[in-house]
Amino acid sequence: MYQRWGSLPSYQRTRGALQFLATVTHSLWTSRAERTPQALIGPGDVDLSDEATRGTFFEQVGEASQYTAVVEADFLNADAGTRVVDQRVGREAPALERLRVGTRVATAIALLSFGAREGDERGALEHEVIAASLVPGLDGNVLRSALADLRGETLLYLHYTGWRYRFEPTPNLNKLIVTEQDKFEADEVLSVVRRNLEGALGATGGQGEIVVWPSGSGQIRDGVQPFLVAYLSPDWDERQEPLEQLAGRCGDAPRKFKNALALTLPDRSTFDAARQAARAALAVESLLSRTSRHNFSPEQVAELKERATGANRKLTSLMGQAYDLVVVPVGSGSAGIRFEEVSLGTVLAAGRGLHERVREALGHQVFDRLTPARLAAVAKLNEQGVARCDALADDFFAYFELTKLWSIEALRASIAEGVTSGLFAYSVGVEGDSGAVRVSDPSLVRLRAPLAADEVDLGAGAALLSVAQAEALTRRGEPAPAGAEGGGPGATTAGAEPATPTAPARDGHPEAQDQRRVSLQIAATEDDLHTIQRALTGLRDVVKPGSLRIELNVIAEHPEEAIDRIQFQNRVRQHLEEDEDVSFSERWD
């Protein structure tokens, strides 16, 4: 009051000072139950929501008529910027909620906006605002953060010019931006959000496997193709478009290739923030296009450009958080399609695109590689002797029981690898069924010969052949009987019980054989699997080289918790089939 207001013609040095001090003290004393007790009264403690305090303040600085609207808009309204910052700081640090940090900083600026200087020199520097707002228990960095929030997006009459903060009765850029934002329709704003999302997805993933905001199941194409990830619209409503309908149908027809689709669900709160950022970006860019009309100062132009950059940066950042859950169809039954949920919250986002994170999150459901052993098991070559490649391609993308593949190239690579290693054979021009297979030219049969993935044709006439079938076709020109032995190195007959390893007696003493074998019987729950894994790892170090025969009996305690056969296939059996050194059998009761 002495250093700043003393130069104001309306200010009464003695009577005015005592009157204002008495009013402020009375207001704070009567509302002490709502405040933290303090030893001193600072500029930030003045309660402008108190009518008597507010009236005395305006009387001393001589601005009652002009600044009433300022206090109403930025301090008293339910959605006033000071209250928004109070709530934000309170959520982040509940201990500071009673200090009302946003209101404290803005009040200090209001008192420092009058006297001492005129024109552009009026107001207070940042360090003066911080000094006027500090109290014990309140860190200066918190005040600086609140000051940045007040300046950046909330208050309508706070001006920042020449490194000084002050309130003026004329609206600042915030007011112009808010007014400009109302001119844009919701569709225009959503179009900007979509462009940013498509840009982010295009930078990190192949567009062939991405569907953005399908308006219905018909826009999610159906066919042998790359595995599709559909990013649902922020306006998607499950009541109108159930997940089962999107995954189970393609328009009016049933979806055939249901095993080639995942759906990402939007995070509505993030998209709401993205809409606000997009609307702000549109408003600022619109104002910048009419700089001469608004007669903006160079400082205001620079601030608008800074805000445009900030809004676009925020929008880009939000796109990486816009989806938090992926659902994958994994089976079907009487109740419809069953889905497995995969959270993106466990996948690190730093420096990584959204689609890249989705692919990593699906790493246990969808695969880039298919082992030849797994392919041979699916094709049932030991039983049938032949498997059509076009049918295999369809099956992998159609049936939940089979491995989900990111693209058909994984199948081609698996065929090439299996042929090269001699696990099975491949040929084009194959005719007939498993009982009477013929090939138009025996020289087309490829077995134990280098084969590149891009040489593999998956069209009609291309087929996988068991080793016995291939050898019969190439050597005798006759088909081998279905189920002939000879599936190649490491092949085992499906369902065959693995032989128990036997070891010869050592030094003629039969008891020596007993010392080379140990039998374990372990009873455990699912919580003990990690312990069992560690024990088996130790067993590997104790018995080397050695043969292991493990018998597991897994029993669900309650009927409603029955073991899911499809999940068993994808999570258990698949890994056993991929290792050529492992043979196994299973029985379901």
Q: Give me the number of domains the chain comprises.
A: 3
Taking phi over 0 as left and psi of -120 to 50 as alpha, with beta for the rest, 116 belongs to: left
**90: in domain:** yes
pLDDT at 486 over 60: no
pLDDT at 241 over 60: yes
* Contact present, 414 and 372 (Cβ < 8 Å): yes
**220: in domain:** yes
Q: CA-to-CA distance for 57 and 108, rounded, in angstroms?
A: 13
Whether 193 and 270 map to the same domain: the answer is yes
Whether 205 and 165 map to the same domain: the answer is no
**532: in domain:** no
Q: CA-to-CA distance for 302 and 416, rounded, in angstroms?
A: 60
Least confident residue range of 250-264, 391-405, 508-522, 552-566: 508-522
Residue range 112-135, pLDDT digits in tens: 988 766 665 678 899 999 999 998
**119: in domain:** yes
Dihedrals φ, ψ of 230, to 5°?
-100, 120
pTM for this one? 0.66
Residue range 281-328, pLDDT digits in tens: 999 999 999 887 777 878 788 888 998 999 999 999 999 889 999 999
The H-or-E segment that residue 228 falls in is strand 228-231
Whether 143 and 120 map to the same domain: the answer is yes
Whether 296 and 405 map to the same domain: the answer is no
pLDDT at 272 over 80: yes
Residue range 354-380, pLDDT digits in tens: 888 899 899 999 999 999 999 999 999
Three-class SS of residue 174? helix
Q: Which of 465, 199, 495, 498 is nearest to 353 (CA)?
A: 199
Residue range 378-422, pLDDT digits in tens: 999 988 899 999 999 999 999 999 999 999 999 999 999 999 999
**135: in domain:** yes
**142: in domain:** yes
Q: Which of 549, 547, 548, 552 is nearest to 568 (CA)?
A: 552
Whether 295 and 396 map to the same domain: the answer is no
What's the domain range around 193?
A: 186-361
Whether 356 and 424 map to the same domain: the answer is no
**544: in domain:** no
Whether 248 and 395 map to the same domain: the answer is no
Whether 218 and 268 map to the same domain: the answer is yes
**281: in domain:** yes
pLDDT of residue 22: 95
pLDDT of residue 436: 83
Q: CA-to-CA distance for 283 and 297, rounded, in angstroms?
A: 18
Q: Which residue has the tokens 């009673």?
A: 98
| Mean of all residue pLDDT scores within the chain | 83
Whether 376 and 357 map to the same domain: the answer is no
* Contact present, 216 and 227 (Cβ < 8 Å): no
- Look at residues 299, 334, 361 and tell me which one is the last residue of a structural domain: 361
Whether 285 and 378 map to the same domain: the answer is no
pLDDT of residue 16: 84
Categorize the per-residue pLDDT at 507 as very low, low, confident or very high, splitting at 50, 70 and 90. Answer: very low
Whether 135 and 40 map to the same domain: the answer is yes
User: Which span out of 14-18, 185-189, 528-532 was modeled with the highest average pLDDT?
Assistant: 185-189
Residue type, 171: P
- Look at residues 343, 361, 379 and tell me which one is the last residue of a structural domain: 361
Whether 144 and 195 map to the same domain: the answer is no
Exposed e or buried b per residue across 369-388, where buried means at least 16 C-beta atoms within 10 angstroms of its C-beta = ebbbbbbbbbbbbbbbbbbb
Higher per-residue confidence, 520 vs 235:
235
Least confident residue range of 24-28, 179-183, 451-455, 529-533: 529-533
- Look at residues 171, 200, 223 and tell me which one is the last residue of a structural domain: 171
Q: Interhelix angle for 81-92 vs 140-149, to 10°?
A: 140
* Contact present, 221 and 188 (Cβ < 8 Å): no
pLDDT of residue 291: 83
Q: CA-to-CA distance for 416 and 453, rounded, in angstroms?
A: 5
